[in-house]
Structure 1
Amino acid sequence: MSAALSQRLEGRHALVTGAGGGIGAAIARRLVAEGARVTLAGRRKPPLEAVADSLPEGACFVADGFDVTDPEAVARGFAAARAALGPVAILVNNAGEAPSESFEKLHFEMWQKVINTDLNSVFIVTQHVLAEMRAAGFGRIVNVASTAGLIGYAYVSAYCAAKHGVIGLTRALALELARTGITVNAVCPGFTDTPLVQGAIENIAAKTGRSLEQSKASLVRGNPQGRLVTSEEVADSVAWLASSGASAVTGQAIVIAGGEVMAG
Structure 2
Amino acid sequence: MSLEGRHALVTGGGTGIGLAIARALATAGATVTITGRRANVLGEAGDIHGLNPVMMDVTVESSIIDAVQRATRAHGPITICVANAGIAEGRALQKTELSFWRRIMQTNLDGAFLTIRECLQGMQTEGWGRVIAVASVAGLRGLKGAPAYTASKHGLVGLIRGLSEDYLGTDITFNALCPGYTDTDIVLQNTESIAARAGISPDAARELMISANRHGRLIDPAEVGAAALWLCEPGAESVNGQAIEIAGGQV
**TM (normalized to structure 1)?**
0.92
Amino acid at match of 2:32: V
Q: Secondary structure at the match of 1:135?
A: helix
Between the two proteins, the alignment pairs up a number of residues equal to 251
Counterpart code for 1:9: L
Alpha-carbon separation, structure 2, partners of 1:155 and 1:108: 16
Partner of 2:2: 8
1:209 shift after superposition? 3.4
Higher alpha-carbon deviation: 238-247 or 166-175: 238-247
- The C-alpha deviation readout for 1:124-166, integer Å capped at 9, x for no partner, is 1111122221121100000000000000011111110000001
Q: Could you tell me which of 95, 111, 114 is aligned with 1:121? A: 111
Asked if residue 210 in structure 1 is aligned to residue 200 in structure 2, the reply is: yes
CA shift, 1:203, in A, is 1.2
1:73 to 20, 43, 63: 63
Determine the structure 1 residue equivalent to 2:39: 45
Tell me whether 1:62 sits opposite 2:53 in the alignment.
yes
Structure 2 counterpart of 1:61, which letter?
N
Question: Residue 260 of structure 1: CA displacement?
Answer: 4.4
Pick aligned residue for 1:148 from 138, 151, 156:
138
Q: Tell me what 1:160 maps to.
A: 150
Where does structure 2 lack aligned partners over 5 or more consecutive residues?
A: none
| Counterpart-to-counterpart distance in 2, 1:138 and 1:29 | 21
Matched residue, 1:4: none
State how far apart, in whole Å, the 2-side matches of 1:260 and 1:170 are: 21
More displaced, 169-178 or 126-135? 126-135
| Matched letter for residue 4 of structure 2 | E
State the alpha-carbon separation in 2 of the partners of residues 221 and 53 from structure 1: 36
CA shift in 2, pair 1:123/1:72, >3 Å: same
Identity of aligned residues (%): 42
Q: Where has structure 1 moved over 4 Å in runs of 4 or more? A: none
Quote the Cα distance in structure 2 between the aligned partners of 1:123 and 1:212. Answer: 35
Aligned to 2:170: 180
RMSD over aligned Cα, in angstroms?
1.1
Map 1:26-45 to 2 at 5 A.
26-45=20-39
Query: Does the CA contact (< 8 Å) of 1:190 and 1:260 recur in 2?
Result: no
Unaligned runs of 5+ in 1: 1-6
| Letter aligned with residue 193 of structure 1 | D
Q: Is the 8 A contact 2:181 2:212 kept in 1?
A: no
The equivalent of 2:183 in structure 1 is: 193
TM-score (norm: length of structure 2): 0.97
2:96 corresponding residue in structure 1: 106
